[in-house]
Chains A and B, each alone.
Chain A
């Protein structure tokens, strides 16, 4: 991670997730070299049927991390865009587990230290392994773009006219300049 600043965010598209937990497996294998989904820094929460949801929970690498704010030992620091666990400092009080608004830090009986996503040095294993493209690494500047675009497309005040182009019927939508009031 030397010299590299993480300007991408690990984003989750829960509608795409199938709940296969491959992301959990690869995370645990990468960080602990064991086959144990319960040692992953990403976990998939599944609810059914009210609501029907498969939601991978993973750290957002907040710019103003609540986990770091409650840490009494200065063991969580934002370094190069990733909230890093400074292992030597950590006293394993688990205050961070409760402080994270997403519950994105985990504990396991075999490990003293909390389990926290480190973005795999900028190339997250879970993103590469997800068979549904439900996990994506997205530049910060692009975050929210699809919502913005959707908002534009669904703008209710638009008008429509039909026209023909090379014999094919088409529709153009536009927003009328309103009367000044």
Chain B
């Protein structure tokens, strides 16, 4: 079956060194095989690596940054505002990606583009402006040092219009903090894997898009009918209202109850004052509005305002669970206003809340344990819940001042400077761990260990299921569910939609195959689409293997082996090396990779064709 609609079949390639941009055609084979978003990204990154013989400095001009929405981005269906940023990550040195919500990807589609790739480095701090058919690179050195919110405002002012979408970096990105993010619509972020640092390394402050085109849909009537069923299902779900009201903040209470809430740098899985930083607290005293990504009825975004006290006047779009846990309980902060203030600061500076909470938690514990001296801390003591010191440290990280200069290099940089810190900082492959403790869930541990981008929860989020199942879950089942998640989840990122309606409200995956059919005109079953998405997981594994990854890297933070949570329902639990090795081997076996985690050489052939015609001899 052929693709009849759903794409513009255009790829915008920008070379910042040369200052030129061109629109290249995307072939039908490419579109069909890689679908969009993370799929397009992975393939273009693979080709770029091959072109450079797999030798790429993540922060050098040759690292290709791919920005790609999917064929369903911007389409009338649940939560279609997603867009992927893909590159070799400066945090891990491996494949990296982060997806961003809001409306940026929709605007990109309306400008008639399915993917943007950016290489080189601009001579001056610049802004890439994409307007329908035109692309301009504008030098805007005046934006240097501006925070994300200011930069977005200044750009709109300079262009004289509100009707654009801006994806920008802050000071953190300019300073190439290894967990800098890209910010859009003031507070939606492509947070993980340090994509913001890559924009910084390219002297690219922002990408501004404006588009007016129709988003191609093959069968509008079919789409509307399918969507009516999906929307109805969501709106009638018993937790729908709760999602609108609390968004992901409802997870704080759940995680605490189960003993998987990061507290005091994961020393504990419960937090005594958890009810001071949970959804109910937010609703009763702080929330002033909802925020949704494009076409999303769930509106998981919360807008909060601190109305009195020393943080009065702080407005933030957030927090959501990860930010609140990592900047709250993980740092021993029980003052919700302070959490909001830290979250807002991260948004302004353009650094990832998860990694920021992770490295600061490690610093506090490192100092507590005597690994770090007062001199290492630039003479300012820091203890749990010390709001002022923590907010100061966030500033220092983004500005690379004092100890902040080491922290800005993330887990890897910290361990390089203080090897003993390996005991306290939680990371996999150099990416700081998300806010779900894995010590009581072998499947979640496996998910973190085998994730292509490092310890991030969105690759496979199996912990809730394992908590439900308790002890009577076999290794087989655990591995199967991890693989299933790793197979389904890329599909959401490839199609350009959010996974929350599926994972949280149980909206069937089947709908997405139908949406895909109505948008593209290609009759592909869910199973076929999942095969393509599984290919992407294999492809990113291949990328990592060619960059040096093997079994030794599919490991866990040292704390997970050695230090159990101290109190609560998970007290005393750790992951045993033997259990982990056994399940990892089983995982490789089921994946068809060898004992060392290496996929068969024949797999590479699958991805041999060049994505963009003449891409290899090109430039």
Contact = CB atoms under 8 A, between A and B. Distances in A.
Interface string B92-115: 000000000001001000100000
A131 B244 contact: yes
Interface string B192-219: 0000000000000000000011111100
B289 interface: yes
Interface string B234-245: 010000000010
A37 B295 CA distance: 10
Contacts of B187: 48
B110 A52 contact: no
Contacts of B349: none
Contacts of A49: 149, 186, 315
A38 B296 CA distance: 17
A15 B214 contact: no
B220 interface: yes
Interface stretch (B254-262, B298-306, B462-470, B561-569): B298-306
Nearest to B235: A131
Contacts of A45: 162
A35 interface: yes
A120 B76 CA distance: 19
B220 A36 contact: no
Nearest to B79: A20
B294 interface: yes
Given A35-B75, A35-B76, A20 B110 contact: no
A132 B294 contact: no
A35 B301 CA distance: 24
A81 interface: no
Contact-size category for B: 35 or more
Contacts of A35: 74-76, 214-217, 220, 223
Interface in A1-58: 15-22, 25-26, 29, 33-39, 45-46, 48-49, 52, 54
A132 B216 CA distance: 27
A108 interface: yes
Contact of B317 (A21, A34, A48): A48
A109 interface: yes
B295 A18 contact: no
Contact-size category for A: 20 to 34
Best-surrounded residue of B223, B290, B315 (most CB of chain A within 10 A): B290
Contacts of A38: 110, 212
B292 interface: yes
Contacts of B74: 35, 37
B272 interface: no
A109 B212 contact: yes
Contacts, number: 88
B301 A18 contact: yes
Contacts of A16: 290
B76 A36 contact: no
A36 B291 contact: no
B224 interface: yes
B76 A52 contact: no
Interface string A130-155: 01100000000000000000000000
B495 to A, nearest CB: 15
A34 to B, nearest CB: 4
A16 B217 CA distance: 30
A56 B288 CA distance: 17
Given A21-B294, A22-B297, A34 B244 contact: no
Given A21-B295, A108-B212, A36 B224 contact: no
B293 interface: yes
Nearest to A109: B212
Contacts of B231: 129, 131
B306 to A, nearest CB: 12
A29 B223 CA distance: 11
Nearest to B298: A131
B295 A22 contact: yes
A-B residue pairs, 3 tightest by C-beta:
A131-B297, A20-B292, A18-B299
28 contacts: A15-B289, A18-B292, A18-B296, A18-B299, A19-B290, A19-B291, A20-B292, A20-B293, A20-B294, A20-B296, A20-B297, A20-B299, A21-B295, A22-B295, A25-B295, A29-B76, A34-B214, A35-B217, A36-B213, A36-B214, A46-B185, A49-B315, A52-B303, A52-B305, A52-B315, A129-B231, A131-B244, A131-B298
Interface of A: 15-22, 25-26, 29, 33-39, 45-46, 48-49, 52, 54, 108-110, 129, 131-132
Interface of B: 74-76, 103, 106, 110, 149, 162, 185-187, 212-217, 220, 223-224, 231, 235, 244, 288-299, 301, 303, 305, 315, 317
